[in-house]
Structure 1
Amino acid sequence: MLKLKRIAIDTYRDNVAFLARKCRHYRPEEFQALKKIEIMNDHHHLLASLLVVDDDQIVGPDELGLSEQAFRRIGLVEGTTVSIAPAEPPESVEFLRNKIHGHTLDSGQIRGIITDIANYRYSEREIAAFLVSCAGFMTTSEMLSLTSAMAEVGTQLHWDAPVVVDKHCIGGIPGNRTSMIIVPIVAAHGLTIPKTSSRAITSPAGTADTMEVLANVDLSLPEMRRVVEECKGCVVWGGHVNLSPADDILISVERPLAIDTREQMVASILSKKLAAGSTHLLIDLPIGPSAKVRGHADAMRLRKLFEYVGDQVGLAIDVTVTDGEQPIGNGIGPVLEARDVMAVLRREPDAPRDLREKSLRMAGMLLESDPALRGGAGYARAQEILDSGAALEKMEQIIEAQGKAATAACVGELTQDVLAPCDGSVTAIDCYRLARLARLAGAPMDKGAGIDLFKKIGDVVSEGEPLYRIHACFKSDYKFAVNFAGEGSGYRIGGSA
């Protein structure tokens, strides 16, 4: 038997075990071919990748080290004795081979694969093989099975309300922080809206990153339930409540491989919303030359996929196509986006009009889910709630219930204005380039980093006038961002290239 030792190494999503080469109870050579072991103690089991250690100060001959992630998942205290054995390949690997060879899988086979992925029985290579094979060919029935399987493997929330609404944007548009305005409007009306949001993966800020400027978002499931019971809504990070955990694992492999098929996108989004207990869902589908969806034909196909799966799983879905030609709001990055959100909620004169209008329109569509509200009255009701101050009051209540941010985050003090190269008007803005620029400046890791926009499409500019301002917190990030902006501002003025 080996004694567990916690190793302070962050291995991201992977379970990693460390065994001394001079182990007194096992020969590491026996496990090196398979590279995975099963760790056992009564009812506790965990699969982990094995690394052999030559330094006795890291792992002793009577110890088994576990990375931070693995130690947390096994749920045992340091010093607990465990045994290990070579891990048997999951049974679902045979289904994976069938998919690789072009066969269509049934719901049971897909469920088997997803269950094993969620339980960390698959290596990254096997997950990549599954994703690539699905990207090559996936039927609508497989997409439906994938959605249901991901929703059912993990936590499933149930709410004591006949109507539970939610909203999701497929992403790609910087500053599009409508959820933080929609949630307090809808909750102030009386509908339940438990919003679980993501942190940024490739963008300058996710909704959870921006909300964290104002309040605690790392809530446990009981804490989230308490906030929703008190406030009718919340804006929290979904990582702690274990909704569709297989989806998070799949995404971590998809991103580096740039795999983003429409079928996998639909399954990913809807599995999360099903697990969250939603009954009505509004999908924001921005279209633009640098957005995820570039044309109306692609948007139509994606809308049909959402509607098909929604009908099959009993989720009422409304898809709205929105303008994705430029950023929404004036700020890109957590602090700057939080500033815009609160400006809209406080009804400040200089609050970004595009963020206010889009939020009202989408909040109105969600309010139409209320049987007590007359048809067509959603927008007017949303406007009434916002203009009366009820939405601001609800947001302040949600912030207090989740826990106000301990320290106030400030905008980055290292700044550089990017200037117009000539006279004219702004004819195009590259959303992808501005998002990348904001990340180079340090967002979202540095909450105050990002871009403050001064000009939008259609605005008239003079040569030398600021188009936007870069904010950074560290000199190295500041240098990266300024150099990148120097290679191309992301703006097109008049007819210039």
Structure 2
Amino acid sequence: MLTLRRLPIDTFRENVAFLNRGCTGYHVEDFLGLGRVEVRGDGRSLLAVLNLVDDPAILGPEEIGLSQSAFRHLGLPEGSPVHLVPPTPPVSFDRVRDKVLGATLSPEDLRRIIADITDHRYSKIEIAAFLIACASFMTTEEVLGLTRAMVAAGARLDWDGVRPIVDKHCIGGIPGNRTSMIVVPIVAAHGLPIPKTSSRAITSPAGTADTMEVLANVDVPVERMQELVREARGCLVWGGHVRLSPADDILISVERPLAIDTREQLVASILSKKVAAGSSHLVVDIPVGPTAKVRSMAEAARLRKLFEHVGDQLGLSLDVAVTDGSQPVGRGIGPVLEARDVMAVLRGDPAAPADLRDRALLLAGRILEFDPAVRGGAGIAIARQILESGRALAAMERIMAMQGPPPAAATLGTLVAEIPSPAEGVVTAIDCFRIARIARLAGAPNDKGAGIDLLRKVGDPVRRGEPLYRIHARTGADFAFAQSFALEETGVSVAMP
């Protein structure tokens, strides 16, 4: 037997166990070839990647150390007696190998794979193999099976027969597109319940959860989330904490460094979260543009049909809005800057970004028309009245107060560089992908104060040497990376009219 220790090492969702090379209870060599170990104690077990420690001051020969995430997942107190066994690979991984070789997975195959992933029985390498195999090809029925498996692996909210339970989701890819943080308070002020759960950013400089965390706590337990929706009619929380489709957040943690975000996985991710949250009616925003995730109307039509097919099978009433994805929305790109834009719109600031305001009103109007009492076509006018009257701001302030303060104060990065225009003329295009990458190099979203403040949008005149945007960063290395990348190619096209 070994004594369990919690080591203050953050391995970011990777379960890692540490043994002293001179371990007295086991022959370390028995586990090295496998690269992993199964830790068991008091009826609990955990598969973990095995690392060795040579310094007894870090870990003694009669101890086993677990990284923070592994210790949390095992769920035993520090000092507990545990024993080790050679790891038993999850049987479901045989079907992942088949998928790599071109097989089509059945609903039961997908259920077992997602159940094992949720139980942390897959290493990151094995999850990556699954994601890459699915990225190669997935049938429509596999997407449906994956979505159902992701719903079944976690909690599912019950709203006691209340309908409609509405929601909204954008597929992403457009920097600054934080419409959810305006839509939710508008809809909540109208009285429709909207339990908005959001993921953190995968490949973008900020997700809704990242930006909302600038203003309020987003790590809300499921019971509190339900209270929020019943009392405030809405919430803006991180989906991972309420264990709605928990496999999604595990998959996202691997998708992020691989920059994988396929249409099929996107549909399963979004719809599994919405069904698990108990939503009955959903508006999906698909921005289309030359540097967006979806780059043509034909591609948007195919994605819309996939959403509609899977949504129909899951009993969701779906409304797909195809919007302009030709450039970033608003001015701020990065959590602090995007939160600034959102609050400016809600407060009715004359300088608030008009494009962010107009898009949020469009989407809120579509959601309000799910209300049987709202006539078709009247939704946007009602949404505008709610916003302009201050009711949406009041609803947002109530939601923020009920969710509680953010875990830490977030301020704008103090390292600032203005990127000059290389020519005189008019801004003709902004590359969403490159601008997002520059903001990420600056440190967003992990550093909430990092990002880009756009000073010019498409159609704006600019002189040579005038700033196109400002980069904000907090650390010198991030600042240098972002500035160098931006000066190499700004991502903003300027031409004479």
Measured against the shorter chain, the TM-score band is over 0.9
Q: Write the distance in 2 (CA, Å) between the matches of 1:36 and 1:155.
A: 29
Residue 264 in 1 paired to residue 265 in 2? yes
Report the secondary structure of 1:167's partner residue: strand
Greater shift in the superposed pair: 43-52 or 336-345: 43-52
Matches within 5 A, 1:421-432: 421-432=422-433
Q: 2:225 matched to which residue of 1? A: 224
Q: Deviations over 1:437-488 (max 9, x none)?
A: 2222232233222222221111222333332222223333333332222212
| Counterpart AA for 1:275 | A
Q: Which residue in the other structure is 1:369 paired with?
A: 370
Distance 1:416-1:158 versus aligned 2 partners, 3 A rule:
same
Q: Residue in 1 aligned with 2:163?
A: 162
In structure 2, the residue matched to 1:8 is: 8
State the Cα deviation string for residues 95-139 of structure 1 (Å, max 9, x = none): 223323322222111111111111122233332332232223322
* Cα separation, 2, equivalents of 1:102 and 1:476: 43
Residue 94 of structure 1 is matched in structure 2 by 94
1:191 aligns with 2:192: yes
Query: How far does residue 94 in structure 1 lie from its aligned partner after superposition?
Result: 2.6
Whole-angstrom CA distance in 2 between matches of 1:204 and 1:241: 23
Which amino acid is 2:192 matched to? L
Q: Which residue number in structure 2 is paired with residue 448 of structure 1?
A: 449
Residue correspondence of structure 1 range 32-431 to structure 2 within 5 A? 32-160=32-160, 161-405=162-406, 409-431=410-432
Cα deviation for residue 215 of structure 1 reads 1.1
Q: Give the residue type in structure 2 aligned to 1:123.
A: S
AA at the equivalent of 1:299: A
In structure 2, C-alpha distance between the alignment counterparts of 1:105 and 1:480, rounded to whole Å: 42
Q: What SS is found at the alignment partner of 1:185?
A: helix
The code of the aligned residue for 1:84 comes to L
Which residue pairs with 1:21 in the alignment?
21
- SS, match of residue 362 in structure 1: helix
SS in 2 for 1:319: strand
Q: C-alpha root-mean-square deviation of aligned residues, in Å?
A: 1.8
**Structure 1 pair 485/104, CA: closer, same or farther in 2 (3 Å)?**
closer
Question: How many Å apart are 1:154 and its aligned residue?
Answer: 1.6
1:205 positional shift: 1.5
In 2, distance between residues paired with 1:325 and 1:40?
53
Q: 1:426 to 1:133 in 2, by over 3 A?
A: same
Q: How many residues are paired up?
A: 496
- The runs of 5 or more residues in structure 1 that have no matched partner are none
Query: Post-superposition shift, 1:303?
Result: 0.6
Q: Tell me how far 1:399 sits from its aligned partner.
A: 0.9
1:292-336 Cα deviation digits (max 9, x unpaired): 111111111111100000011111111111111111011112221
Corresponding residue for residue 435 of structure 1? 436
Give the Cα–Cα distance (whole angstroms) in 2 for the partners of residues 282 and 186 of structure 1. 12
| In 2, Cα distance between equivalents of 1:477 and 1:439 | 9
Amino acid of the structure 2 residue aligned with 1:115: A
Point out 4+ residue stretches in structure 1 off by more than 4 angstroms: none
Q: Which residue type is aligned with residue 318 of structure 2?
A: I
CA distance in structure 1 between the aligned counterparts of 2:24 and 2:409, rounded to whole angstroms: 52
**Aligned counterparts of 2:313 and 2:419: Cα–Cα separation in 1:** 50
Residue range with higher mean Cα deviation, 182-191 or 98-107: 98-107
* Matched residue, 2:472: 471
Q: Residue type matched to 2:5 in 1?
A: K
Separation in 2, partners of 1:96, 1:187: 42
- Give, in whole Å, the separation in 1 of the partners of 2:18 and 2:356: 50
Partner amino acid for 2:181?
A: M
User: 1:221: how far off?
Assistant: 2.0
**Distance change >3 Å, CA 138–CA 483, structure 1 → 2:** closer
CA distance in 1, matches of 2:166, 2:129: 35
Which letter maps to 1:27?
H
Letter in 2 for 1:238: G
Give 3-state SS (helix, strand or coil) of 2:214's partner: coil
Deviation (angstroms), 1:408 = 5.0
Q: Which moved more, 1:140-149 or 1:46-55?
A: 46-55
When structure 1 is superposed on structure 2, of 397-406 and 109-118 the one drifting more is 397-406
CA distance in 1, matches of 2:291, 2:62: 56
Larger CA deviation: 475-484 vs 430-439? 475-484
